[in-house]
Amino acid sequence: MTDDEATAARRRGYWLRLARERADLTLAAAAEAAGLRSGSGSTVSLWEGGQRAIKVTHLIRLARRYRVPVSVFMTPEMTDEERLDEAIRSASAAERVDWDAEAEDSPRAEDELGDELRTRSA
């Protein structure tokens, strides 16, 4: 499995789990919705963990049951964690220095940051 395939599998699993939880289904119920035996919840867990490939037919069935466009699973977007990591990576050098400064805990530093944010939004 290439890095791109592994990333897609991990993202797909993230969105599968989120959609299942939103639909308030157990792993066993998701297995049945995918067309598997209810005892195949472990297979669903492996899909959600990005550890096992999932057939398109199973994705389509789950998308229908979860009431989510199948494209969410076919071309999965970045996870929330990946978005946060990207924001951290793209942070300015000045922000990074602020993070490392011990003054973060002082009320004065928080006031200065609030002043800076108000100035930027004005």
For 19, counting Cβ atoms within 10 Å of its Cβ (0-12 exposed, 13-18 middle, 19+ buried), the class is buried
What is the overall mean pLDDT for the chain?
A: 87
pLDDT band at 106 (very low <50, low <70, confident <90, very high): low
- Give the closest residue to 10 by CA, choosing from 81, 67, 99: 81
Q: Using one digit for the tens of pLDDT, what is the confidence trace for 40-80?
A: 999 999 999 999 999 999 999 999 999 999 999 999 999 99
9 vs 113 pLDDT, higher one: 9
Domains and CATH numbers, the chain: 3-74 (1.10.260.40), 92-121 (no CATH)
Tokens 């942070």 found at: 91
Is 110 a residue whose pLDDT tops 90?
A: no
Residue 52 carries which DSSP code?
S
Do residues 15 and 76 make contact, with C-beta atoms less than 8 angstroms apart? Answer: yes
Directed axis angle between helix 27-34 and helix 56-66, to 10°? 120
Directed axis angle between helix 3-22 and helix 41-48, to 10°? 120
Please tell me the predicted confidence (pLDDT) of residue 100.
73
- Give the closest residue to 12 by CA, choosing from 94, 69, 85, 78: 78
Is 27 a residue whose pLDDT tops 60?
A: yes
- Give the closest residue to 65 by CA, choosing from 102, 31, 96: 31
Can you give the three-state secondary structure of 83-115, one letter per residue? Answer: HHHHHHHCCCHHHHHHHHCHHHHCHHHHHHHHH
Q: Tell me, yes or no, if the pTM score tops 0.75.
A: no
* Span 93-104, average pLDDT: 68
What percent of the chain has pLDDT above 70?
A: 80
